[in-house]
Structure 1
Amino acid sequence: MEEEKPWVLISEVGGEAGLNEELADIVKQHFRIVPYKELLENPQHLGPKIQVAFQWKFLPEFNPGLFKMLPSLKLAVSGGVGIDHLDVPFINSLGVKVANTPGAVSDATADFAMGLLLTSARKILEGHQIAIDPKTVRIQQSLMGSEVTGSTLGIIGMGDIGYRIAQRSCGFQMRILYHNRRKRSAEDEEAVKASYCEGLDDLLRRSDFVMLAVKLTSDTIGLIGQRELSLMKPTATLINISRGQVVDQDALVKALQSGTIHAAALDVTHPEPLPRDHPLLRMPNVLITPHIGVNTYNTTCKMVEKMVENALAATRGLPIPNEVRSK
């Protein structure tokens, strides 16, 4: 029965960037797994049998060298919603289709975005450090955070993730502004009491918290730079859950050092991780997490299940549910 299953390439089972055993078991129900290391050890024998390649945490890299070893490949599928790391036109030119896992990551990412906002605003990490410090014998009351309830949240990028952040923000009675390539429907806006800002500058000037939830494209690289940061309130916080390249990090450092903005909370940087001597790592008004917005058991299972769904469709000659096409 194992021989009858189609073959799929994965990075590894276990390890820092591999599928854990439970996730690998989801794949094994339908496919015979070939770890990348095994492919490298015997590419002539294994390569022609592989019909699908899974990319998990950006590994294995979908580069020309890999595709050269996989002459029978039908689908390259990446776990996650971002496709900025994929050369879709090149992959398609090889006769290979591309898919991702949109929707599966939205709730976990939106939850995490609100977690970053709350942790930064209310100085939860600093409070934790004071509470556990062996030198603490009396709790000082001087650690003051920013009010979240009733504040103004500006969301840049009102796709699925951005909209779910807006839904969560309603529970804090936040005033919601958004900037997007396309205006959401009147029904969508009414449901979360969101106001559309046609110009980005207007949103930046009015927001207490600015949330970046855009895709990384040629238009969004460096979207937030010195000029944009200078428009924000000196009491404002920038939160980035999209991609590190959306923000000019040198400009961000200067804005945080000078008091142009109050704070930043980042789940993404460029590169990841940052060099250990990077100034953002030493700033008291910066919260950084290691790109873990999707890291929950339920979400990773949903991602792998979507990857399998797309892969089965490809091997059976059926339409691929989450196919990404060249523009």
Structure 2
Amino acid sequence: MTKIICVLYDDPIDGYPKSYARDAIPEIKVYPDGQSAPTPKSIDFIPGQMLGSVSGELGLRRYLESLGHTLVVTSDKDGENSRLDQELHDAEIVISQPFWPAYLTAERIAKAPKLKLALTAGIGSDHVDLQAAMANNITVAEITYCNSISVAEHVVMMILSLVRNYIPSYQWVVKGGWNIADCVARSYDLEGMEVGTVAAGRIGLAVLRRLKPFDVKLHYTDRHRQPSDVEQELNLIWHPDVESMVRVCDVVTINCPLHPETEHMFDDALLAKMKRGAYIINTARGKICDRDAIARALESGQLSGYAGDVWFPQPAPKDHPWRSMPHHGMTPHIAGTSLSAQARYAAGVREVLECWFEGRPIRNEYLVVNAGKLAGVGAHSYSEGNATGGSEEAAKFKP
């Protein structure tokens, strides 16, 4: 039978939830582009419950053990003596999340001769060395679109939080103050600003649609240009490259995949070409930005603010400069793992596993690597190569 390792983040510090703030969540059956939400034959969880932490187990244990498979669930993923490394030698499937990634480097893949499937519970599989996966005929899949709208909502929240200076204003209230001048000294209206997205795929386009009612001027750059009717509907201005777009934007939101072509795209040189006082929102991948260049730009005033939900590596070391740099709005990669999103990506993982064990094809839109080549969403979004280098730094972080 098959051994499956599932790497999930730790339970809440006060214990796995015994009750929840809401009794139910809306059921999403079809995504905006017409793709159907995950359709497993059945699920063993209640949507709206915590599924992404170790005790939630993505709702998989009953199903997998009923088939005679072995499920190992752990949050211990970094360093040579981690539980993940101890279990890899005979694992056939590794399930991980972008929020708490099990970095499947070439070295780890070499230690896992039986590994056949690397499955991302969410979207974004850059924590897998895709080149090594292709060379070793490992299928890589993710649950496309399961949390795209979740992330788009988070982007809009972060834009408003930065531009309106919400976080410092909230902190004055917590401190017992009423410091109006301090709050508004860095507060502006979003209305009329030039806002651009790096990539206008599922997340980027959803962000643009949500921003249109704010009466902003919308820009985008993407290697796949939007149809003319979409450009007309949203009054979009297309740019052939990132540099030409960021020169004119007050707010830039990053929504592209991480691969060798986008790694460290936002470096000192590109940041210097942006408008002084611009804002960057990054819910894509931390490594798309040069870590130290972002901190320098905030300290010099070249950037007015940076809000990100993604770091490199993850979890971030305690001395990561993005924890302490000025005018930031960082969150610990939570945008795509709301309880609503968890229900969809857990159902998607169940759907993929049902297909895998029953010998049925996995949905093409879920595939990243198949039969030694980029496939499905992977062929559309990624390029060959490896972006896992440096991930060993995560071992410095001790929760």
Normalised by the length of structure 2, the TM-score is 0.71
1:35 aligns with 2:72: yes
User: Conserved in 1, the CA contact under 8 Å of 2:119 and 2:140?
Assistant: yes
- Equivalent in the alignment of 1:11: 7
- Decide which structure has the larger Cα Rg and report it: 1
1:23 Cα deviation after fit: 5.2
User: Conserved in 2, the CA contact under 8 Å of 1:113 and 1:165?
Assistant: yes
1:62 Cα deviation after fit: 3.5
Partners of 1:42 and 1:319 lie apart in 2 by: 27
Structural mapping, 1:11-160, within 5 Å = 11=7, 15=11, 19-22=53-56, 24-25=58-59, 27-28=60-61, 30-32=63-65, 34-36=71-73, 47=90, 52-56=93-97, 57-58=99-100, 60-62=102-104, 71=114, 74-134=116-176, 136=177, 138-144=178-184, 145-160=187-202
SS in 2 for 1:304: helix
User: Conserved in 2, the CA contact under 8 Å of 1:11 and 1:18?
Assistant: no
**Which segments of 5 or more consecutive residues in structure 2 lack a partner in the other structure?**
13-50, 75-82, 375-399
296, 314, 336: which one aligns with 1:294? 336
1:229 Cα deviation after fit: 1.1
User: Conserved in 2, the CA contact under 8 Å of 1:36 and 1:60?
Assistant: no
Q: Say which structure is richer in helix.
A: 1
Label 1:98 to 1:199 Cα distance change in 2 as closer, same or farther (>3 A).
Answer: closer
227, 234, 239: which one aligns with 2:269? 227
284, 293, 296: which one aligns with 1:254? 296
1:68 Cα deviation after fit: 5.2
Deviation digits for residues 98-125 of structure 1, max 9, x if unmatched? Answer: 2111100100000001111111111111
User: Conserved in 2, the CA contact under 8 Å of 1:74 and 1:315?
Assistant: no
SS in 1 for 2:213: helix
Partners of 1:279 and 1:59 lie apart in 2 by: 20
Structure with greater contact order relative to length (CA < 8 Å, sep ≥ 6): 2
Percent identity between matched residues is: 22
Partners of 1:34 and 1:216 lie apart in 2 by: 29
Partners of 1:52 and 1:36 lie apart in 2 by: 12
SS in 2 for 1:31: helix
SS in 2 for 1:288: coil
Greater Cα offset, 181-190 or 119-128: 181-190
Partners of 1:99 and 1:221 lie apart in 2 by: 21
Deviation digits for residues 234-271 of structure 1, max 9, x if unmatched? Answer: 13111111111111222222222222222211212233
Label 1:42 to 1:260 Cα distance change in 2 as closer, same or farther (>3 A).
Answer: closer
Label 1:291 to 1:79 Cα distance change in 2 as closer, same or farther (>3 A).
Answer: same
